[in-house]
Amino acid sequence: MADKKNKGGRPKTDYTEQKKIILEEMAKGQSLRSICKAEGMPDRITIFRLCNDDDEFCNQYMRARKFQADCYSDLILEKAETLLDRAKAGETKPHEVSATSIFIDTHKWTAARMAPRKYGKHADEIEHNDIEAEKSDKKNRRLLDDMF
């Protein structure tokens, strides 16, 4: 029976439960920074290392980021609608409008970074180009099929 040598260093920690919580909370719109502040959660650097070492978790993390961007989009709409309703009722003050504008701009910018194809500056152009590229691919496949 071969003896196992001690590799040294810290033993690996199993973050299975924390990973699930992180992905769920991000998909609900919570920031990674706020999630990592909770008791029993790893710090942000550990999460980045886990992404680097675990392809499956990395893919889930990226999907959760896209869901997070969708939550930000919903939050932007809610804030804007609330402000408009209050403005119609004559209940707004200039500083509230400024604060809401900053909130909306910040969340728009963040959502565009999280899901640039969906919320980025040229999202409409990208979607149009994707549709055109797909049509072109289908046409090219038909041409190849006809040739052979």
Q: Where are the domains of the chain?
A: 16-114, 123-148
Q: Is residue 55 scored above 90 in pLDDT?
A: yes
Q: What is the pLDDT of residue 139?
A: 54
Q: What is the pLDDT of residue 92?
A: 85
* Residue carrying the six token digits 């919320």: 119
Burial label for 58, CB within 10 Å (0-12, 13-18, 19+), is middle
- CA angle 62–25–68, rounded 5-degree value: 45
Measured between alpha carbons, how far is 100 from 64 in angstroms, rounded to an integer?
A: 25
Q: Is residue 126 scored above 50 in pLDDT?
A: no
Amino acid at 16: T
Can you tell me the mean pLDDT for 118-142? 59
Q: What is the pLDDT of residue 141?
A: 53
Which has more pLDDT, 101 or 2? 101
Structural tokens at position 9: 């260093």
Can you tell me the mean pLDDT for 22-29? 95
% of the chain with per-residue pLDDT over 90: 43
Which has more pLDDT, 141 or 22? 22
Q: What is the pLDDT of residue 94?
A: 84
Q: Which CATH class is domain 16-114?
A: mainly alpha
| DSSP notation for 60-123 | HHHHHHHHHHHHHHHHHHHHHHHHHHHHHTT---HHHHHHHHHHHHHHHHHHHHHSHHHHSTTH
Q: Is residue 41 scored above 60 in pLDDT?
A: yes
Measured between alpha carbons, how far is 2 from 106 in angstroms, rounded to an integer?
A: 58
